[in-house]
Chain A
Amino acid sequence: MTYITKPLVHHPALQKNALGLTRRDYEGTITTLCAGCGHDSITAAIIQAFWELSIPPHRVAKLSGIGCSSKTPAYFLREAHGFNGVHGRMPALVTGANAANGDIMYIGISGDGDSLSIGLGHLCHAIRRNVNVLYVLENNGVYGLTKGQFSASADPGSLSKKGEANTMSAIDGCLLALTLGATFVARSFSGDKAQLVPILKAGLAHRGFAFIDVISPCVTFNDHEGSTKSYAHTREKNVEVVQADFVLPTSAITTAYEPGSVSSVTLHDGSVVRLRKVDEDYNPIDRDIAYSYIRERQTAGEIVTGLLYLSPDSSDVHEQNNTVPTPLSQLAHDQLCPGSAELEKLQRGFR
C-alpha cells in the first residue's frame, strides 16, 4: 500500500549523482499497481531521468489527475510536493501552480482517460498556453480502475476484455498536440527505458509544454486477443517504431544507427517490438512533416516513437505574460499594494 514506506538505508556502493544522491533518493512509496504494470516502468524511467540530471527533488512539484497513472507520483520523488487532483483537470492545477511559482520544475502525470476524455479540453488549452511542464500521458487504451472500458485512445475495431468491439475512432495524443501548436511532442514505450529516459530529460530541459505519450500496456485489462494494445497483437504485427536518442532541446537529434535501421526490444512478457529510428526524410523541427509522417506510418499499422517534434522557438506562459523573474508567490506585500495615498488619488477618478 502507498503508506508503506521503503527502507531508507541503502547499499553504500550505490552510484551517486552530482548532488551526492543515489537513485533511491529519487524514489517514493511502494507501488500499488498490478505486478508488471507498464506504469511502474515509466516511474523507474522518471526516477532515472531526475537522478541523472541531478535535480534537487524538493525543487520539483508533481501533479496528476485520477486513475492508475495518476497514482504514480506517489512512487517517485518523495521529497517533492505532490498533488493528486480531480479527474482530467491536472492541467488547470499545474497552470495555476506554475503561474504562482515558475521557479520550480513541474511534472504532470496523466492517463488516456484523464487526458483524452474527461480532461481533453484542459490538455488542449495547457498546450496552447505552453505551460512549462513535463506532461507524461501513460497510455494503455483502457480504463483500468473501473475494470476494462475502452478509452478514447483505443483503436477502432479493437476488442475489450469482454469481447465488445470499439466502433469509434481513436484520439491520438501526439497528432492532437501537433495540431494545437505543442512545442515538444514525443512518443515512447514503457518497456524502452533507454529511449524514454533521454526523452524525459529533454522534456525537463524544455521550457514549455513537453508532451510525451508513453504507450504502457495494461497487463490486467488490455492484454487479450483482439486488443490492439496487447502484447500478443504487438508481437503479431511487428510494429515498427522510431527511436530517438536523448537530445538537449537546443541541439539536433543524433542517432546511433544508420537511417532506416531497425532495433528490437523485448517486452517483459517476452514479446518484441521492433524500433526503427528516425529516417532520413524525417525532420523533427518541422511540424507538418512530423504530422504527416506519424499519420502515414499509423495508417500502415506502425507506432512511431521518439522525440517527434521540437519547436526551435518555444515561448512559455511566463515569457508570453512578461512576468517578473521573482515567483509571484514570493513578492512582498509592499510590492503589491499601492497604499492609502494612491487609493486617495485614484478615487478622484470616481467622482
Chain B
Amino acid sequence: MSRTNEFAFKIATANGTGSASANGLIMQAIFRMGIPVTGKNVFPSNIQGLPTWYEIRVDKNGYTARTPHFDLMVALNPATYQKDGAEVRSGGWLMYDSTWPLDQKLVRPDVTYLGIPLAEMCNTTFNGARERILMKNIAYAGALAALLDMDTEIIRALLKEKYSRKQALMDSNQKAVDLGYTYAKTHFTCPLPIRLEAMDKTKDSILIDGNTASALGALYAGATVGAWYPITPATSLMEAFKSFCEKYRREPDTKKKRYAILQAEDEISAVGMVIGASWAGARAFTSTAGPGISLMNEFIGLAYYGEVPAVIFDVQRTGPSTGMPTRTQQGDLMMCAYASHGDTRHICLYPADPREAFETATIAFDLAERFQTPVFVLSDLDIGMNDWMIPKLTWDDSYRPDRGKVLTAEQLDELKTFHRYLDADGDGIAARTLPGVHPKGAYFTRGSGHNRYGGYTEDGEEYVDVLDRIDRKIQRAARAIPAPIIRTSPNTRIGLVTVGGCHSACTEALDLLAREGITLDYMRVRGFPFHDDVRKFLESHDLNFIVEQNRDGQLRSLLLLETGIAPAKLESVRYYAGFPLSAHHVITGVKAKLEKAA
C-alpha cells in the first residue's frame, strides 16, 4: 500500500530535550515542499523530563484536523514506549533508538521496526551531554528525511536561515541531519510507501499558531496597552505581542515605546488595568485562560454595567479548576457568555483558526469600543499553540478603528450638558467622554446603581431604565458580530452545528459522511449573542447535531437559552478528553445518534 502525501506520523520524546526544533524543521520542510501539513504539539505541564509528542499530518487534500491514526511512530521515549507502540496502525512503522536492544515484549507482528542507533552515533560524533541530546533529535529528523523522501536541499536552506549567525550550530545541525539520513538510506529501503512528493499547494499559505496571529491582530488593530498574568496556553499571545511591539512600535528617532505591557500581580488586576486603560481611551486587552476568567468575573461585571470597553482573549484549556493546563477544550463558552454576578450578557467571538484569530482581533476592538462593553475572543489551546497552515494574512490599509461614540472637546463645547448614560440616538448606545478632555465631559463611572444621567441611584425605575437599555444594546450587537458560516444543500433535513476550533474536523467529517451517503447541512457559529441566522438555521432543520468540546454541551445550552428552539431539535455530539477534535470523533458521534434514531 503506497500513500503519497496522505499520512500521519507521531514523534514521542521527553520535554526539555530540544525536540521542538527538530519537529519544527520537519514541519517546515514538508510545507516548503508545497504539501499541506499540520502539526499538533501534545505536551506536558512541565519544564523537563515528562513525555511529549508531536503529531504531523500530511494531507494532499488540505485537511488539517488532528487524526488519531498514525502510520509511523518515532518512539524515542522509553517511558511511553508501550503506549506509543500500540498507537501505530496495523501495517505501519516504528522508528526506535537501537543503541539499546528492542524489548521483545513490545514487538507487534503487524508493525515494521526501524532501529537507528541515534544515541550511539551522536555520542561518537558530538561532544558534551547537552549537544549529544539535542543532536539526537536533529538526527531523527535526518532519518525521517530519507524515509519519507524529504527534499534535503530545503532542509539545508532552513538550517542556513535559522543559524545564519551561528556557523558552529549550523554545522552541528547539518552533520546530525546527515548522520540520520545516511544511516536510514544505508539500512532501509527508502522511501517508505508512505512518502512525500513535492506539490504546489502551500505557496499562498503560512504556518502560524493562533496566539501569534491574535497578537498580530491586536498590533494591527492599534492596541497600545496589554495587561496580563502568565498562564498556559495564553502566555505566548502576550509574548508575541511584545515582540511585535519591539519591532513595530518604537518611535523611529527616540526608540521610545508606543505601547505599554503590564505584567500584573494576578488576572484580577490584569483585567482591571485593561478596564482602566480603555476608560482613559486606549485600546487595551488581556490574554488569559479559564482560570483567569474565573478571577476576572467581578471586574467584567463592572465593565458591563459601567459600560467600559475591554478585550479579553481567552485561550481555552481543560477545566474545571486547574484541569489539564496543556490540553485543549471549549469549556468557557457558558462562563464567558454570562460572566459576573447579576444580569449580564457579553459579546463573544469564536475564531476557528489562526487566520480568523488575526481577523477577529480587529473586530473585537471595534465591537468593544462601539458597544462600550467587554468582548471575549474565545480560541483554544489547539488554535492558540499549534502550528496551522492557513492562507496568508491580508490587511486592508483603508481600515480605521471604530472608536465608538467618544465626544471630542469641540463636541462637548457645543453641548449644553453631558449625561453619560442618556440614549440620545435611540440605539442603546450612550456617548462617552475621556478624562482630561473637557470640564463638561466629567462624569462618574460606577458599578453601583446609576441613572441615565450618570448619577447614583437606588430608585428602582431609574435602575431598570439603565439596565434594560444595556440589554437592548447588547442584543443589538448580535447584528454586528460576524454572521455564522452556513453551508446548505437542497432537501437536507439534518444540520451539523459547531463552533470555533471544531471547524476543520467537522468539515472533514461532513465530506467523509457524504461519501457514505449521509448529507448534512453545516453551520459554524462565530459570535454571541447569536445572529438571527443561527435561530433560522436551527428551526429549518428537523435535527441539528451540536458538535463541541466540553462535557456539558455548553453551546447547545446557549442555543437553547437564547433561541427558544425546541430541545429535541438539538442533539449533542461532544468530545472533551483534551486532544484536538478529529473527524473520527464527529463521524462516530453522529452515526451513533443516527442509528439510535433509526
Contacts and interface: CB of A to CB of B under 8 A. Distances in A.
- Are A and B part of the same complex? yes
Given A82-B443, A125-B269, A96 B276 contact: yes
Contacts of A324: 251, 254, 256-258
A343 B216 CA distance: 9
B439 A58 contact: yes
A86 B299 contact: yes
Interface in A81-114: 81-86, 89, 91-101, 103-104
Contacts of B31: 351
Contacts of B282: 99-101, 328-329
B444 A92 contact: no
Tier of interface size on chain B: 35 or more
B442 A58 contact: yes
Contacts of B277: 96-97, 99-100, 328-329
A121 B445 contact: no
A85 B272 contact: yes
B39 to A, nearest CB: 13
A100 B442 contact: no
Interface of B: 28, 31-32, 202, 206-208, 216, 219-225, 227, 248-249, 251, 254-260, 262, 264-266, 268-282, 284, 298-299, 302, 306, 392-397, 399-401, 433-448, 451, 455-457
A83 B447 CA distance: 9
Contacts of B439: 56-58, 79
A124 B280 CA distance: 23
Nearest to A332: B222
Q: Is the interface of A mostly helix, strand, loop or mixed?
A: helix
A322 B265 CA distance: 21
A86 B254 CA distance: 38
25 contacts: A1-B456, A3-B457, A61-B436, A81-B441, A82-B442, A82-B443, A83-B276, A92-B264, A92-B269, A92-B271, A92-B299, A96-B225, A96-B227, A96-B272, A96-B277, A97-B435, A99-B273, A99-B276, A122-B272, A323-B256, A324-B251, A337-B221, A350-B206, A350-B207, A351-B202
B222 A92 contact: no
Contacts, number: 235
A41 B219 CA distance: 47
Given A100-B282, A340-B394, 16 more contacts: A2-B456, A3-B457, A61-B435, A74-B444, A81-B433, A85-B302, A86-B272, A95-B273, A96-B227, A100-B276, A104-B436, A121-B266, A321-B260, A323-B259, A337-B399, A351-B32
A347 to B, nearest CB: 5
B193 to A, nearest CB: 29
A351 B207 contact: yes
A86 B447 CA distance: 7
B393 A81 contact: no
A123 B433 CA distance: 27
B276 A333 contact: no
Given A125-B269, A324-B254, A328-B260, A58 B225 contact: no
Contacts of A351: 28, 31-32, 202, 206-207
Contact of B436 (A91, A101, A318, A333): A101
A347 B397 contact: no
B438 A84 contact: no
A268 interface: no
A74 B225 CA distance: 28
Contacts of B393: 343, 347
Which of B272, B302, B457 has the most chain A CB atoms closer than 10 A to its own CB? B272
Contacts of B260: 99, 317-318, 321, 323, 328
A79 B275 contact: no
Interface string A292-325: 0000000000000000000000000110011111
A103 B436 contact: yes
Nearest to B281: A329
A93 B279 contact: yes
Given A84-B445, A343-B393, A329 B248 contact: no
Which of B268, B271, B436, B456 has the most chain A CB atoms closer than 10 A to its own CB? B436
B218 to A, nearest CB: 10
B407 to A, nearest CB: 13
Given A92-B273, A351-B207, A328 B258 contact: yes
A109 to B, nearest CB: 13
Given A61-B436, A101-B282, A122 B258 contact: no
